[in-house]
Chain A
Amino acid sequence: MPAPARRIPHPREKRMIFANIDREGYTPDIDCYLRHGGYAELKKAVTLKPADIVAEVKASGLRGRGGAGFPTGVKWGFIRPGETKPVYLICNADESEPGTFKDRYIIHQDPHQLIEGMIISCFALNVHLAYLYIRGEFPHGAKILENAIAEAKAKGFLGKNLLGTGFDLEIYVHRGAGAYICGEETGLIESLEGKRAYPRIKPPYFPAVLGLYMCPTIVNNVETLCHIKHIVKMGGADYAKLGKPNNTGTRIIGVSGDVQKPGYFEIEVGSITMGELINDFCGGLKPGRTLKAIIPGGSSAKVFRADERFKLKAKAADGSMVENEIGVLDIPLDFDTMAACGSMAGSGGVIVMDDTRDMVEVLNNLNHFYAHESCGQCTPCREGSLWMRKITDRILAGGGVESDPELLASVSNRIAGKTICAFGEACSWPTMSFVAKFKEEFAGKAKKQVPAFTPPEFTSEILTGAQH
């Protein structure tokens, strides 16, 4: 196996979670981790009251790094103190949102950071049985994690009466088998119960209330759980000083596509702009090319067109509201600004496209992904994702008709908000945004003038029974 390219961190990075990633001589075994101060935060955490750890996580302002950006402390707060049912914790290591590649490096290079974060979280939430759901395509990662768990157990950090506290905890690794929808937390829970990964309807199946085996369950992303360890180390208030208000801490951004040096970077949330990311961190575009489009937060995020402008409201020094106009490259990489610009920070996966790219082909690639990955429970999602794929297939094959862009927009608008899980939004947002923002490109390819198709065996008379 060719060794992965080792990267030297960019000077403006703030490496906390990725402190040991790509470090010369750093190995995934527990001895190396202990030499670097590992498990010190666990030892500190078990001297604290569980409720106080939850309070620190709330104070930290940490938002989930799995995609939705939900505040972790608030999620944890849904578990009632004195809960009588068993409470479960699941680490979401399904990492399968196209464009996202961060959890992979934690799992393969620094597994004990994750295990320590999980143990602290279990202690805080009174969890005695936890699972680490890892995607099936990480076979080495699963072995590394199993090994890390066995090492932690042998050292008394895990298992019965861990660190002599009287607290028992088991963590097991559970492998998925190639389905993207297992990343959706309720689909993941079904999968862990040994079923098809059919997401559950919310309400009533909020995992924190009715999760694994119908018990309260917290599902958190790999990167999120690693942050817990650093919150315990720094204290919630100090952690919250990293980043920006309501967008605290650091996060890992992955850049792929048409840049000179794609890669991953850990930054304080909001500390750099999209332009700095592309030009300073990734060496800019390839020679002679210009920027065309950016998908900012995993493939499900709405695309930005390079020349888009945004009007953002901000509070001026005197407290009055002012309006600032910014371009795509001026957007700071944080949750709130990205949302205000009409897309999302999502999973931190940035995909860059230059002027050589055909937007119909790009959308068609994503439509194939979503059509393949819909779980099939909801008609709008199952049929709509396939329909959108077939339309972009048809346009690329030269058979696009004039009404196709409109039809694409119409189909996509009928999925979002009408389904059991957020895959509905995920599969419709690309189509919705590509067709709206690159209208001329779709229209230029879908030119055939063909009248609307009415299947002869189903004329309107037959359907209404009028001719009888």
Chain B
Amino acid sequence: MQIPPQLQAQVDEAISHYPVSKRSASLPLLHLFQEHFGYISEEMIQWIAAKLELEAIKIEQIVTFYPMFRRQPAGKAHIRICRTLSCALAGAEGLKTTICEIAGIPPLRHANSAESPISVSPDGKFSIEEVECLASCGSGPVIMVNDDLYERVTAEEIPTILSKYR
């Protein structure tokens, strides 16, 4: 694992935001690593724990608790689709099927399944995950592709949206 100087600097900056307890930097550091490497590995957990002077279990514990952290890479473009009530009323379920078809992603397991809640296309370009309410309920159905939010998404728009990330 190579930690580039820029990431190192971001790590140190993040830790400086918590003058009372370094442990508070656990989540920010995990975010920085996932943004940089795309997922969280065992080695990263060890590294972060050592940096924050914690036992590794303290970091592992939160990786397994917070749904946004993943233990394996997602697709180059990671799609989050809201499955909660307002979006469901606006047609999220059908939209999910369309996205999977067009992006070539195998059908998704449910978020409550014991397996990974993320499904990745064989070419590694796209992945999808069902998430809970994204706080855009008045403009559903909504999806996020990487960091970008799309509102009132229709099946017809999916090819155009996805083509931006191919």
Contacts and interface: CB of A to CB of B under 8 A. Distances in A.
Interface of A: 1-2, 4-5, 95-101, 103-104, 129, 135-140, 172, 174-180, 191-197, 213, 254-258, 262-264, 295, 299, 349, 351, 353, 357, 362, 365-366, 368-369, 371-373, 389
A282 to B, nearest CB: 9
B66 A178 contact: yes
B147 A98 contact: no
Contact of A263 (B17, B18, B30, B138): B138
Given A191-B27, A213-B21, A351-B85, A179 B135 contact: no
A373 B28 CA distance: 21
Contact of A137 (B18, B65, B144): B144
Contacts of A258: 89
B31 A175 contact: yes
A366 B25 CA distance: 33
Contacts of B135: 95-96, 100-101, 103-104, 135, 137-138
Nearest to A373: B132
B121 interface: no
Contact of A366 (B85, B90, B140): B85
Contacts of A137: 68, 80, 131, 134-135, 144
A373 B86 CA distance: 17
Contact of A254 (B17, B25, B137): B137
A369 B137 CA distance: 14
A177 B89 contact: no
Given A172-B17, A196-B62, A299-B85, A179 B151 contact: no
A4 B30 contact: no
Contacts of B88: 365
Given A263-B138, A351-B86, 5 more contacts: A98-B137, A139-B147, A180-B132, A194-B23, A299-B133
Interface residues of B, number: 50
A180 B85 CA distance: 15
Nearest to B30: A177
A194 B89 contact: no
Interface of B: 17-21, 23-28, 30-31, 52, 58, 61-62, 65-69, 80, 83-86, 88-90, 110-112, 131-140, 144, 147-152
B67 A365 contact: no
A4 B151 contact: yes
A99 B65 contact: no
B73 to A, nearest CB: 17
Contacts of B19: 129
Given A178-B67, A178-B68, A373-B132, A194 B86 contact: no
Nearest to B24: A194
Contacts of A177: 27, 30-31, 66-69
29 contacts: A95-B135, A96-B135, A98-B86, A103-B135, A136-B31, A137-B134, A139-B147, A140-B149, A174-B24, A174-B28, A177-B31, A177-B66, A177-B68, A178-B66, A178-B67, A191-B27, A193-B21, A193-B23, A194-B62, A195-B62, A196-B62, A213-B21, A256-B138, A257-B86, A351-B85, A351-B86, A353-B89, A362-B85, A369-B85
Contacts of A196: 61-62, 65
A133 B19 CA distance: 16
Nearest to B144: A137
B84 A365 contact: yes
B133 A136 contact: no
Most chain B CB within 10 A, of A99, A258, A353, is at A99
